[in-house]
A and B are shown apart, each in its own frame.
Chain A
Amino acid sequence: MPRSPADRVPLTGADCFLRAFDAEVRRRSGASHSAQLVLRLGPGFDAVAFAKLVGEVAEAQPILRAPIRRPWGVLPPEFRLDLAVRAPLPVVEIHDAPESLAGGPPPPLFAERLNEKFDARRGRLLRCDVVRYAGGAAGTDVAFTWLHMLLDGSGSERFLRWLDEVSRGVRRASELPDEPPPSDSPKVGARALGQQAMKWRARTRSFAARAPRSLAGPLSAARQRLEVDVTTFGADETARIGERARKLAGFLTPMLFYLAASVRAHRAVFELRGIDPRSYVVPLPVNLRAKGAGGALFGTRVSLLWFQVMRESCGTLDSLLAELKAQRLATIKDGMVEAGTAAMDYARWLPRYAYARMARRAFGGELCSFFFGYTDEFLAGMTTFLGAPIENGFHAPSVPPSPGSAAIFSLRAGRLNFSHVRQSGVFSGFEQVRLQRSLRADLLGELE
């Protein structure tokens, strides 16, 4: 940094896609489209030193508090690094909790942070909350919560590695890892780009013939009240689940196994309600960061592979997996990853509300059936953070009030974490149990 002569970094197409969600959530439900990463640490974490470190890196890396503005109100939005100096440093709040709560469910405060509003125009993009148990002697939980367009899942984990490296003196706060240029402007001509975007639009519009439903129902203007449950499977169970995922979905595509189990878990709740949604539409985020490249942090680099599975395919896990595998291959072969990128690139020029409005119009008020994510090994190979042992960690991104449900999976040190983020009131207690039982049965290959 700075990366451009004018100290302005254009948002990527994916950033703008997330910005569209943010506009939707801000307008409808009084919060932001944010993301969260939670670290559960053992003893030895110095919260005060951490707060100082965050301040230092935010001083050195203005993108962490750069106002996001759209020049002239119409040009593609930018991170205004030149205005960052006037923006406040990211907030780091330190809270204390009794030892008896250590190792229990994540603090409710963390879910509350997902219901708050960031202010992109003023550069309020990131905050951190630290909960110390017995002053830190019994462990510490740290939540990083940020406006989603600042960092994607992969970038956020790299950000933590980078923070740790700065704390150990391996890097200076001003020194970012090597990264490709921040703009992901495609290298194809405008005409080809337009054709790709139209292809993507045609594919998503084809879903409308059997439009999806979410458990939240069509567009809601309810105030966002997200709840987060995190289920951590034991080491033996995780080993069994991992073996099943490899065997049934393939060595490199375990995400399809978790996606299939999640579709069937939501289906189980629909069945409980006596509703036949006819199809399930779910986007699978695809990491587009250069494979093997250094450590790009900012500028989200994702595309979405969209799946639509009919109810007839969902009868068994095997039949659903076969359908998902076939669709994944067909959509990649058909260039839908590139088409999705092109469509997102167009989002840089569109009004913020355009994407959600178009999707809801096509799908009868819904965006999709639920959000899904699989981020593989969390902070792979990293055992400590600022000197404290990492005992667990997971992602908990927010989900708009409709679809109102997100299923996120990750692994940490041989244990599977399932984060279920949901809008309050979408699931009854009984439905929540039903979803968990169905999921567990499919993951472990057991009868319910």
Chain B
Amino acid sequence: MTWTREALTDRVYEILRDDLLTVGEEFTPRSSLIDAGLDSLAVTQLLLAIEESTGVWVDESLLTEETLACAESLAACVHAQIAG
């Protein structure tokens, strides 16, 4: 499957909202992940879920304050890696 950036954003957002975080309806793809309680364990579980969906293991060294700012920025980082 070819992943577009938009599709990846939706997938990352779904995983965070439904499986990893306890968040309300105000949580959007642009909400701060750190404020929403994302921690190192949740990030690793997120990477595992992304790998399951896309077959790509995201290089952890790419995870920075900027790339982990929100679901959208994280998806952009993943997409860049998939696109090579």
Contact = CB atoms under 8 A, between A and B. Distances in A.
Interface of A: 250-253, 255, 286-287, 290-293, 325, 328-329, 332-333, 337
Nearest to A294: B22
Contact of B41 (A250, A286, A293, A325): A286
Nearest to A178: B22
Nearest to A303: B41
B76 interface: no
A289 to B, nearest CB: 9
A291 B40 contact: no
A286 B64 CA distance: 21
7 pairs of A and B residues whose beta carbons are closest in the complex: A292-B37, A291-B37, A293-B22, A252-B40, A290-B22, A292-B36, A292-B22
The interface centre, meaning the residue of A250, A292, A337 with most chain B CB atoms within 10 A of its CB, is A292
Given A252-B68, A332-B48, 20 more contacts: A250-B61, A251-B63, A251-B65, A251-B68, A252-B43, A291-B20, A291-B21, A291-B22, A291-B38, A291-B39, A292-B22, A292-B23, A292-B37, A293-B37, A325-B60, A329-B60, A332-B41, A332-B44, A332-B45, A337-B41
Interface range, B side:
20 to 34
Interface in B40-61: 40-45, 48, 60-61
A255 B44 CA distance: 14
Contacts of B44: 328-329, 332
A317 to B, nearest CB: 17
B39 A287 contact: yes
A429 to B, nearest CB: 36
Contacts of B43: 252
Nearest to B42: A291
Nearest to B44: A332
A250 B60 contact: yes
B36 to A, nearest CB: 5
Contact of B40 (A253, A292, A293, A333): A253
A325 B45 CA distance: 15
A252 B63 contact: yes
A307 B22 CA distance: 29
B45 to A, nearest CB: 7
B78 to A, nearest CB: 15
